Structure 1
């Protein structure tokens, strides 16, 4: 049975989240350098119906293949999902895709760090409801590689901010938000603990918002260093602040390109097509 949930503020079609148990990807077990976990599940890609032009394209940067997806506030809405109708995490992009109308989806990506229960770690807001508080504590793993940050937004305005800046400056609860870490770029500069091209390379993805308000999601198709991914956001995407989303579990659903990754994931960022008025 297909489920359909409309996010009130931006008419988004999606379902609440669900996912399988993680395989070594909980924030408490993520390697600081993002190196692969031997227990990480393999990726399976399923064929999906074509659904109009894709918002994603293939690029190469420093000899690394990447997929670059763009959410345009004129054309798209963004929201978060984590739990399905049975109140259990979806656990995979495929499980989510099985419960929504693919024609409504521009694309979807994994949406930040999570615990053993596949529920978010750190700040998490879905459809205006806050399910997890901002985490400003210390710890081990990529999430606690300070400064970390929050990707959030309301309506067609989306931002990435460092967690401390978010805490000090954002008073109103956004319609969606997810905390992850580390920040890849801070005010146009690489995170101080990220090397230009460190020895650790893994599948990785991140997000940044440009000066025009477009949200850029980048996922590597081959192992990439933190520095390379950060430089792509700096040199090619032209954003001043970019946030790392996750490593080996990085996943994408792009219905138009018939791509459906099937790794085990927690929260999901869903980009839906905006319904335009007949006069537009």
Structure 2
């Protein structure tokens, strides 16, 4: 078993085991990756971290970071290194992505990060270095998503991202199956994130370095990775 990074901790919330990782963007670099330089989609968290490490960029941790179509293309907005690979998706539809409000996690050019509801993101006219759209929002301005039951019967291992008032980015994944309502409360009440976004469930995976700590054995589209900043 790989050593847990210093920025991560094991916890139990409402009876379910979870991992919380808190990254200060002034100390750590937070990036999204999706394709190799030759254009081939990584397709799995394990493949992404292995190739990043082989290229001299060893991540502290990485997890899946957005939903994808059958052809592995992102369902919603995806921006990497300032280039938009997929546009903002404001369509209606079925499934978690379309359980509105959905939202966007983004990293600005100065390294700071945020989570915004989709319509607010469009209105803000941001030009981020990195962005991934997913859904549903878990927490919006301190309130749980209005369509969540307190503890629904649909329970999966889930992962997501939130941003605290101080700008710290919180990445969370559960070891045990949980409802969306419980997962949202984890971000609001335990992680203290006024805004948080669901990444996925059932396919959720986490790597510490190049070692898979939680591996659903499923494909992954966008991947979020955290690195030490040189000189910090």
TM-score (norm 2): 0.92
The answer for the alignment partner of 1:57 in structure 2 is 9
The answer for the alignment partner of 2:27 in structure 1 is 75
The answer for the alignment partner of 1:90 in structure 2 is 42
Asked if the contact 2:65/2:160 (under 8 Å) is kept, the reply is no
After superposition, what is the alpha-carbon deviation per residue over 1:62-83, rounded to whole angstroms, capped at 9, x for unaligned? 1100011111112211111111
Could you tell me how far apart the structure 2 residues matched to 1:80 and 1:177 are?
Answer: 7
Q: Which has the greater radius of gyration?
A: 1
The answer for the alignment partner of 1:241 in structure 2 is 195
Q: Which moved more, 1:100-109 or 1:229-238?
A: 100-109
Give the one of 218, 222, 231 matched to 1:267: 222
Residue 83 to residue 128, structure 1, CA distance change in 2 (3 Å): same
Could you tell me how far apart the structure 2 residues matched to 1:264 and 1:257 are?
Answer: 16
* CA displacement at 1:176 relative to structure 2: 0.2
Residue 128 to residue 103, structure 1, CA distance change in 2 (3 Å): closer
SS of equivalent to 1:90: coil
Q: Which runs of 5+ in 2 are unaligned?
A: none
Q: Say whether 1:147 aligns with 2:101.
A: yes
Residue 64 to residue 260, structure 1, CA distance change in 2 (3 Å): closer
SS of equivalent to 1:196: coil
* CA displacement at 1:247 relative to structure 2: 0.6
After superposition, what is the alpha-carbon deviation per residue over 1:42-65, rounded to whole angstroms, capped at 9, x for unaligned? xxxxx66x6x94322110001100
Q: Which runs of 5+ in 1 are unaligned?
A: 1-46
Q: Size of the alignment, in residue pairs? A: 228
Residue 196 to residue 245, structure 1, CA distance change in 2 (3 Å): same
RMSD: 1.9
Could you tell me how far apart the structure 1 residues matched to 2:5 and 2:199 are?
Answer: 25
Could you tell me how far apart the structure 1 residues matched to 2:24 and 2:210 are?
Answer: 16
